[in-house]
Amino acid sequence: MSSILIEKQDASERIPYRFTFGADGQVVDIVNDIYRALLKPGLRTTEDTISLHYTPQAIFRVRTVSRCSASIPGHGEAILATSFASSSSSRLVTGSGDNNARIFDTDTGTPFQTLKGHTSWVLVASWSPDDTTIATGSMDNTVRLWNPQSGQLLGQPLKGHTKWITSLAWEPHHLRQSSTLQRLASSSKDSTVRIWDSKSQRTDLVLSGHKSSVSCVRWGGTGTIYTASHDKTIKLWDSTKGTLISTLTAHAHWVNHLALSTDFVLRTAYHDHTGSIPPSDHEKTAKAKQRFETAATINNTLTERLVTASDDCTIYLWSPPSSPASNTSIKPIARLLGHQKQVNHVTFSPSGTLIASSSFDNHIKLWNATTGAFLFTLRGHVAPVYMSCFSPDSRLLVSGSKDTTLKVWDTATGKLKEDLPGHRDEVFAVDWSPDGRGVG
């Protein structure tokens, strides 16, 4: 069906479409074909006239990254983490092996603030969805909160973990109980996840159940916290009570990373491509909730899909239950095979239709995010690929590698779009700004 609409267009100009069928108050997504979506379940017969609705999945276009606009000095050691602000590409935070985090003004290409205080490597850095706070996690076992305007530490370091911090996840904006209360989840090498109240700066909950290092944490839009661990399991937790919902077991080795199909809308909250920000806190919450529900709704059901990557060279796609009483199967939707070495990073496209996996076999692979079907192998790097990131319109993908280069790929064709040399050492972290204007 998509080919009928776009057959006269060049591949680089194609707009992805979403097809739906609506009747009797029910909306059905046409994921694969009409037979499997409508005829096989008995919703329609071959004698019926079927009317489909189609909507473009990307209503704006991101221009490809083609050159280096600024090379900004400042750090004294390797940069291990990077993240653009949720609202724009004007601010970029980085964490480094020099024990500091820095905020850069990307409009002028100059350092803006230096976040000093950690006593060891800064491994992770994350903006809150409303851009009012930056959280950093370090090898000194602490999490610190910062004012992004002044660069000042907010209160005291958040202490409780006994080993270094591996990942951070903010509570989605639409789940916040008040405009002043922000909660943050931190995972650690000490096998626990801690939920912090950023206002009182105390631990709300400790999620203990993993038997080895927790490598990644995500806070879902339905209130479920997802954790991946070196004990080969993925666990789902209730963010209110701190109780275990279920354990997903399929991997045969360390689980290195996980991603949610709603990561992009949870990160950007009420910020979108129009740049308009609701005037009141209530309207901000409502817009953030509406954007999440739009991204997560499949066949009239809120569904957050989960993808996990492991040292066993496999990737699993899941549609996990959101509560213990849920009847949703906890078996994976698909097992994604093809990588020859450890898979280090996975990510969903903002449209929720693609998955990109980065591996130590020097390749990136693209997969269908609904069925797990293999689409393309992106070949070009000559050393392990550490991570990749989609553009906000899902048409492009940028990858960073040990071979010192960034590469930009066309997700519609699987072809190399741009080769971006310039770094003199390994590229550990990369991010595409949510407004699509830059890569850092």
**Residues 27 and 20 sit within 8 Å (Cβ to Cβ):** yes
Whole-angstrom distance, CA of residue 163 vs CA of residue 185: 15
Question: What does the pLDDT read at residue 23?
Answer: 64
**Coil, strand or helix at 331:** coil
More confident: 220 or 61? 220
User: Which of 133-142, 291-300, 421-430 is the least confident region?
Assistant: 291-300
More confident: 261 or 274? 261
More confident: 57 or 362? 362
Confidence of residue 8 (pLDDT cuts 50, 70, 90): very low
Whole-angstrom distance, CA of residue 44 vs CA of residue 53: 16
Q: Buried b vs exposed e over 262-273: b needs ≥16 C-beta within 10 Å?
A: bbbbbbbbbbbb
The percent of residues in the chain predicted with pLDDT above 70, rounded, is 87
- Could you identify the residue written with the tokens 């741009």? 418
User: Which of 29-43, 177-191, 258-272 is the least confident region?
Assistant: 29-43
**Residues 100 and 142 sit within 8 Å (Cβ to Cβ):** no
Q: Which amino acid is at 218?
A: R
Question: What does the pLDDT read at residue 6?
Answer: 43
Whole-angstrom distance, CA of residue 141 vs CA of residue 143: 7
- Could you identify the residue written with the tokens 């209360």? 181
Q: What angle do CA 215, 220, 223 make, to 5 degrees?
A: 120
pLDDT in tens, 373-419: 898 899 999 999 999 999 988 888 999 999 988 999 988 888 998 88
Write down the mean pLDDT value for the chain: 85
Whole-angstrom distance, CA of residue 135 vs CA of residue 118: 12
pLDDT in tens, 9-55: 555 455 566 677 766 655 666 766 777 777 777 777 777 777 776 66
Quick one: 426 exposed, middle or buried, by C-beta within 10 A (0-12, 13-18, 19+)? middle
pLDDT in tens, 303-331: 889 999 999 999 999 987 655 554 454 78
Whole-angstrom distance, CA of residue 6 vs CA of residue 14: 6
Q: Which amino acid is at 154?
A: L
268's enclosing H/E stretch is helix 263-268
**Residues 96 and 77 sit within 8 Å (Cβ to Cβ):** yes
Question: Residue 228: pLDDT above 90?
Answer: yes
Whole-angstrom distance, CA of residue 255 vs CA of residue 250: 10
Question: What does the pLDDT read at residue 440?
Answer: 76
* Structure tokens belonging to residue 436: 């699509």
**Coil, strand or helix at 294:** helix
Across residues 125-151, what is the average pLDDT? 92
